[in-house]
Each structure stands twice: as structure tokens, then as C-alpha cells.
Amino acid sequence: MYTQALAITQGDPAGIGPEIVAKAFRDVPAQLQGCFVVGDVATLRRAAQAIARPGQPQVPVAQLAAPAEALQAPPRCIPVLQLPGIPGPQPWGRISAAAGRAAADSVVWAARAALRGEVAGLVTAPLHKEALSAAGVAFPGHTELLQAEAAAHQGVPVAAMPVRMMLASDELRTVLVSIHVALRDAIAAVTLENVLQTLRITHAALSRSLGRAPHMGVAGLNPHAGEGGLFGREEIDAIAPAIAAARAEGMDAQGPFAPDTVFMRARHAPGHPGEFDVVVAMYHDQGLIPVKYLGVDKGVNVTLGLPLVRTSPDHGTAFDIAGQGVADAASLVEAVRMARALAA
């Protein structure tokens, strides 16, 4: 029995977020015990209708007065904490400022509750970055929004609250040096300071969750990790010195390795444990493509470096199938499982 409730944000109401949340509560009630949804009751009721099938009982939606009530919610009931003033249901599959505002309001409320210690952590259903921008939100995604909230809570500049994105599955973990920036900016972000900071954040976070120091493999930026400077000097000037500095601080970091093979070396397959617990990748697509290729339904996004637990599914809003009740809730369920493990 849990002592604190876990918050799940509803995500963009025009996307699949609300319906995968509803499907998770319906199909795996034991995994969702002690969880509640932050958002709009009408949006979740519409989602429950979207996943309904002939001959199946309707999934009830209950409005909570406080997060703690979720601990006593009956199985296969969706407990929702209604946010005042939040936009209600929006047209399926359409980008809108109202949908972006609803998603952002849910995240901000859950983040602040987690920072105050009122909930065990938060699992964020997908939002749409264009809708977020249309709503006037000054951050490109969850990670940056949560970073700003955490920094404000602790009264420090955002730069003093460095965070990193980890995508994790049972087979592979990868942490990114940069997140949602243009590729030119991502290359410029490969500096000794940024790579070393990423290694420090990764080492600290995984040491807590694994109970030991993680074995970290570091990807190069260039083909063949630069081939001794023939294809670029980032490995020589930034990445290798950062690894050396990390090792001098007692961390288990190795590399830089060729980006086209290091992920295979780190993959944990049945009967074949990987060489590394995690791969530190230099930019967004370098690190995320390998994990997503192994199965979007298995991947979980974890924000490292925050003074709270935050996970999310490894997929987006899927506007093309929103409202059809066919979206797979497996990644959301994995995100809940991982959030519970991290909050333990």
C-alpha cells in the first residue's frame, strides 16, 4: 500500500494522452493503484468513452478533492483532480492554444505539488510542442518547463538547475547532452563542461536507482568517434577530456566510442548483458533512435537532475489516431512503474 499518491498529467486533450491514461486505469488497475489524473474531468470522461467497446463496462471517472483520496479509489475508476479554469475537451487532432494551455496547467500543478512533497512524483502524458507555443508557454517541452519550476522553487537561476533527459527501457538506457535544440546548436553544445556535467548528473541519478556506480559508455559525435581527428576534433578537444575528468572524480566512464556501435554494445539482451548501464549520447536523435527502434511501447522518458521524480511515455500526441481508442498504453504503464520505483 502506497503512502503517497502519484500524479499523472492528462497531456494535450486533443491527443492520445487522456485515452491512454483511461486505458491504463481500465486494463492494469493494480499498476495504477494510488495514482490520479491532474486535469479536466470532462476531458477524461470523453477519453473513457473513446476507449469503450460493446459489451465492456464503462470506466467511471471520479472527481477528487485532494490527492490523498486517490489512495482509496476503487480499481478501474479514474480519479481526477479538477484544475480550476483549465480548458475542457478540445477537438481531436487539432493544434490549439487552449489544448496547449490545458496540458501546461496540468504539468505546472503536478510539478509544484511534487516539489512541495504533496505527491510522490509525476508521470506526464504527451503534450504537443506547437500547442504549447500557441498557448504562450515560453518552454519547448516538459523538461525545460519542469527545470524552470524546480529552479523557481529553490530560488536559484535556471542555469543552476541542470537537467538531462534519459530514455530507458529494459534493454537500453541513454542520456542526452542536449535536448530540444537545432542540430547546429546541439553540435555547439558538445563542450567539455556540458559533457562532464552530463556524466555527473547521470552518475548521481543512476547510483541512487542502481545502488552502485553505473558503467557509463560515452558516444562520440562524429563518425567513428572522429577517427583521430580526421572527421572532427570534438572527441579530442571536448569529449575525451570530459571522460578523463569524470574518471578522476571516481566515475566509471569509458569512451568516446563510435556512435554506430556503442548502443549495440550497451544493449541488454536475453542471455547477453550489455557492457554499459547507460550510453551518454551527444544529441537528441543520436540517443533516442536506438531506444525507440527497440520498441516505443517499452521506452520511458526520465528527467534527471530534478529534485522530484518525473517520467513519461516514449511517444507523442499521435493526433492522427486520437479519439479512436486504439492507442497503446504500454509505455505509460512502464512510466508509472518506473516512477514508483524511483520514488521508493
pLDDT of res. 299:
83
Query: How many Å apart are CA 220 and CA 234, to the nearest integer?
Result: 8
- Amino acid found at 110: A
By the 8 A CB rule, do 173 and 215 touch? no
pLDDT of res. 222:
97
SS (H, E, C) 319-334: CCCCCCCCCCCHHHHH
The cell numbers describing 47, all together, are 477519453
- Amino acid found at 271: G
Query: How many Å apart are CA 63 and CA 41, to the nearest integer?
Result: 7
Q: Do domains 6-161+307-343 and 170-290 have the same CATH topology?
A: yes
By the 8 A CB rule, do 288 and 172 touch? no
pLDDT of res. 147:
94
Q: Where does residue 250 fall: left (phi above 0), alpha (psi -120 to 50 degrees), or beta otherwise?
A: left
The cell numbers describing 341, all together, are 520505483
A 10 A CB-CB count for 261 gives: 12
pLDDT of res. 50:
96
pLDDT of res. 2:
83
Q: How far is CA 141 from CA 17, 163, 265, 281, 285, in A?
A: 15, 13, 30, 19, 16
Q: Answer whether CATH 3.20.20.80 is correct for domain 6-161+307-343.
A: no
The CATH classification number of 170-290 equals 3.40.718.10
Query: What are 203-254's pLDDT values in tens digits?
Result: 999 998 899 999 999 999 999 999 999 999 999 999 999 999 999 999 999 9
Query: How many Å apart are CA 274 and CA 251, to the nearest integer?
Result: 18
pLDDT < 50 positions in the chain: none
Tell me the domain boundaries of the chain: 6-161+307-343, 170-290
pLDDT of res. 57:
77
Task: Quote the pTM value.
Answer: 0.89
In the beta sheet, which residues pair with residue 278? 216
